[in-house]
Structures are given as structure tokens and as C-alpha cells.
Amino acid sequence: MANNSNGMTRRQSLKMIGALGAAAVALGAPSIVRAQTSRLVVVSGGGSYEEAFRKAVIDPFQQDTGIKVTYVSPASDAKLKAQVDSNSVQWDLVEWTTTPFRADAAKYLEEIDYAGFDKDTLSNLLPEAKQKYGVGSYAFSTVMGFSADYPANKPRPRTWAEFWDVKKYPGPRSLRAGSVDGSSIAFALLAAGVPKDKIYPIDFDKAFASLDHIKSDITKFWTVGAEPNQLLSDRQVSMCSGFNGRLQALKDQGAPVDYQWEGGELSSNYWVVPKGSKNRAAAMKFLAYSSKAEVQARLNSHIFYGPMNRAAFKHIDPKIASKLPTAPENLPKQFFRDLAFWEARTASGKTNTEILVDRWTKWVAA
């Protein structure tokens, strides 16, 4: 499902929504509404993300193509599969995370037709965006956040190895529970000296051995995106992992928090087309359109997600771009979560995600 819990707060996003229409015109969105001859059902998250997405992407797309779009929320992987299994597909596009990487992707998803994408779009899409059964829609990052109350005479940790060094960098910490995702496992490997490009395949034994060193200094293993902000605001922790969008939104509100990009874990959401979509051609047209640099710039100028089209930054204010995880200066400091690894089945018959959950549950209880 689109992980919209890690973006801006609803209040901040709503303040910016009014500018989206003007931005669409400024970036060349056609003003003539053509006869709407077909219909697409697009499924993703709700709230402020939906409002921004409608203004930045759906409305201009409808004006440009004459294709009517119906937006549905929330997305559901189980419902997508049920529709395909029952030969009653009602959805045409779904924004999700892991579905394109699963072993049964060919059964449930249409292969993406990249022939309809223009050359500039294809050449500027990040490699992680161009998957056989999905197109990257945006990226968010899990980063290292700090309380502004961190002692002024103490340097902040710059790497996860320093985050792990509780003697040199004292203070209570928080990390995301491994039963939710593998970000803390990846950070544990970085802390153990594993380079960013060697994190995968995950060495579980090494990762948990690294976590052993910091376990007693973790005040809480958080599970919900709002928790890191609360922990920092309430001064329950000095530092923690957290979503870049939420931390930036809190910082913009004047809260005493900050964060850094070094060692951040990038996670992508993907648009997929359910197998048997009644509007496959129109769905592919939507994917080609939403992947354009100008379109992604309209959307990502107003939410703290990173565009997957590198050329989008030509159309984004540099002051805003610096806050986005895929900005040219931020991207090299981070690494992408390997969704294919987490969805892969092992000799035991379990996925690596299932193995992580089993091991994490036992480790936390020990």
C-alpha cells in the first residue's frame, strides 16, 4: 500500500494544495477539456496525498487525454488478488510497495509497456523505478533524526556506526521494529561496517549481533510513523530513525528536531496494473504520463516524497529539492531497500520477510 504516513502533515499539505492548480498551468497542462471517452479506476492512499495527487496528476491528465479517472482509497493487495482470482477486475491501477517483486507477480499483474514512455522519461527514470511489473511512483526515506536538545557540546552522530556508539554519543535511542520492516536490520549492518552496496543479501546473524550491542539503549522499537516525532518532541529520546517527510514537517512547524540523509534507506512505491484490467491501454498511458518530469515536479513540490524521474528537479525550487530524498545531493548518501530480496522465498519455503519477523520476535523477547 502507498505509505502515505511518512509524508507531510495534513495541515501543511492543505496549505499548499491551492497552489497546485496554478503550478499545473505554469508547467503547461492543457486547458481544453476533451470529451471523456474512457474511464480508469486508480487506487492509492487517501488524505492529503489524495488531494495533492488529484490536483497535480489526475486533473491535468484528464484534461490532456479526455480519460476520466475515478480515485479509490485505500489500496489493498488482498483485494487486488481477489479480483484477479475471481476474474472480476474492477481496478486499473494500484499504488503498492512489494507486489511487483513477488514470485506470483506474473499471475496478478500486467507487464508494464514501456514503449509508450517518451525517451526523455525513460532515460531519466531511476533504475529502481523501471520494473517488469511496476513503475516507481515516488520514494521516501527512513533517516536518522535528532532532538535539538542533544547536548550542544556533543557532536551529533554522522553515521549509523556512530549512532551505535553510546559512549561517545550518549542518550536514549529508538529504532523501527523489525517485525514491521527491515530498516533497522540494514542500519545494524552499516553500523557493523558493511558498505551500503553490500547490505544485500542480508547477513541475519551479523545484523542481530550488531543489534545486541545497542538493544539496552533503545527506549522503544517504534511501529507507527508518528511515533518518532512524538518521542523526539517529548524528549523521550535523543536520536532515532524516522520518516524524512514527517521529520521535515515537524521541523517546519518549529519543533526542536533535525535529521540527516547519510545512511538513509530509500523505499519506493510502485504503480501496478492488475491482470485482466479492462482499461489496460489507458492504464499504460497514465503510467507514461505520471512518470514525466514535469508531472512529478508538480506533485513532489508539495509533498516530501522524492520523484523517481531525475529530470523533475529541473522544475522544482532548489529550496524544496533539498528536502526531497532523491535530490541529486541527497541520493548518493543513501541506499534503496531491496524489495526483491525481502519477497524472495528461501529453501525453507518462507520469504526473507517472514524469516526476519520470526527472528525479530524471538530476539526482542530474549
Q: Residues 51-69: pLDDT tens digits?
A: 999 999 999 999 999 999 9
Round to whole Å and give the CA distance between 30 and 35: 14
Q: Is the confidence at residue 15, as pLDDT, over 60?
A: no
DSSP conformational letter for 316: S
Q: pLDDT by residue (tens digit) across 276-287?
A: 999 999 999 999
Give the pLDDT band (50/70/90) at residue 151: low
Q: Which three cell numbers stand for residue 337?
A: 531497500
Structural domain containing residue 299: 4-139+268-335
Q: Is the confidence at residue 144, as pLDDT, over 50?
A: yes
Assess whether 179 and 94 both reside in one domain: no
Placement of cell 527472528 in the chain: 359
Average pLDDT over residues 310-331: 97
Q: What is the pLDDT of residue 152?
A: 60
Give the pLDDT band (50/70/90) at residue 148: confident
Give the pLDDT band (50/70/90) at residue 108: very high
Q: What is the pLDDT of residue 122?
A: 98
Assess whether 96 and 166 both reside in one domain: no
Round to whole Å and give the CA distance between 342 and 165: 28
Average pLDDT over residues 246-260: 93
Q: What is the pLDDT of residue 150?
A: 65
Q: What is the pLDDT of residue 153?
A: 63
Q: What is the pLDDT of residue 149?
A: 73
Assess whether 228 and 124 both reside in one domain: no
Assess whether 258 and 155 both reside in one domain: yes
Assess whether 191 and 232 both reside in one domain: yes
Assess whether 14 and 119 both reside in one domain: yes
Q: Is the confidence at residue 28, as pLDDT, over 60?
A: no
Assess whether 201 and 342 both reside in one domain: yes
Q: What is the pLDDT of residue 9?
A: 45
Which residues are paired to 43 by β-bridges?
72, 94
Assess whether 275 and 157 both reside in one domain: no
Give the pLDDT band (50/70/90) at residue 191: very high
Assess whether 132 and 177 both reside in one domain: no
Assess whether 242 and 95 both reside in one domain: no
Q: Is the confidence at residue 16, as pLDDT, over 60?
A: no
Average pLDDT over residues 297-310: 94
The CATH number of whichever domain residue 361 belongs to comes to 3.40.190.10
Q: Is the confidence at residue 337, as pLDDT, over 70?
A: yes
3-class DSSP assignment, residue 46: coil
Q: pLDDT by residue (tens digit) across 216-237?
A: 999 999 999 999 999 999 889 9
The total number of structural domains that make up the chain? 2
Cis peptide bond prior to 328, omega within 30° of 0: no
Percent share of the chain, pLDDT over 70: 88
Placement of cell 517546519 in the chain: 252
Sign of CA dihedral 343, 348, 350, 354: negative
Average pLDDT over residues 242-250: 95
Count CB-CB contacts under 10 A for residue 88: 9
Assess whether 242 and 292 both reside in one domain: no
Mean pLDDT over each residue of the chain, to the nearest integer: 90
Assess whether 176 and 290 both reside in one domain: no
